[in-house]
Structure 1
Amino acid sequence: MFRIIAFLISFFALATSLNAQALRDIVTLKNGSKIKGRVVSENNASSLKIVTTDGSELVYSIEEVLRIEKYIDPDIAVETIDSSYSSIGVTFGTPTGLNVNSSHWFGRVGLHISGMSYRAKISGTELGINYKLSDNSFRSHSVGLNYSSLLSVNAKWTGFGIHYQYIYKAFVVKPGIQFGSGTFTSPQIILELGYINRLFVF
């Protein structure tokens, strides 16, 4: 049941891209023209000013305006280094091969947990604390400390380590190194590749 729920959550995260991006305005005029940009001032009794995507400032009589709508501009990166948000996704690699990955950022500091359990064959968990080096709606750089445990029919491992995480448009790569004890020699090179999607930003 856990695996079914985890995969449903992961599929939903993959299918719904809610990464923080820039909201902009579309001003539709009564003559059919559409202007994309950002409304910087509005006087319902007289006029409206909009800064277009190329930086020009345009002023229209309010009688010329049919409607104003919001849209997401995917070409504008929004700084989120001090923002708090949650994320969820699927990664391949440490600790169990295929992992459900969940995290929450409290500004520049974040906590994460990843892992999976396949009945009695293999079970693994990774816990970590991370620190953002840079972060916007396109890409993120962070470093962190982690603890992981693995228990399977043929192997076991418990270790502590450090890692670097790079995310570009939700695609993640996270290399690192762990020191521990178990079936494998210490230290161990660790690596995760996958997809991690932001759920909301505040």
Structure 2
Amino acid sequence: MVLQAFGFGHPGGIELLLRILQAENGRFPAEVYAADEGELSLGEDDEDLSELARGLRYAKRQVQTLPPAQGERYQRWLDHASQIKEHMDAGDLVLDPLGVEELPEREELMDEHGIGRGEAACLVLALRHGAPAVFVSSDEEASEVADELGIRRITIRDVLRSWVNVFGPSTAVFDELVEGLRQARFDPGEGFADSLRREL
């Protein structure tokens, strides 16, 4: 969902995310995104597709079915999302599927902790690489599981806090990203955003 937040919310969101994280690339499992949005027609049930593919298909359906003024928001999501493929082509975003031997570990995390398939797969991948996991701020269950497993984890709020403290963007640029995140349905919280803006 972090890819969706930054990929849908701002035309340069992925580059900004990687810069804030000071990461050469971001890796994600196929459960998060497998470039599989075109495998089914828009009317077919997409429950088995990757999380980001479902988000892309939802946006396409909204553009096709809503009046143009209401569909504009979702068209913006799709326009911004083109950066994801560009970053994958450049190697900044890397699809890193779980191995067959790792799938039981993913299932165990889902069963024991009640977290989703994508979150569990991210945790397995983070364990493999000894890397931090990045979650949306509202994903408290996955964050708690990461803590239990000793995996470093970062939330969107942590990313925004680091952006303000380390990079000091202008208030206009800050407002643009926060509004983009809200438009992409990932509101960091009005009080939280206001406190960061005051710091700027």
- TM-score band by shorter chain is under 0.3
TM-score of the two chains, using structure 2 as the length reference: 0.20
In our comparison, the structure showing a higher alpha carbon Rg is 1
Name the structure with the higher helix share: 2
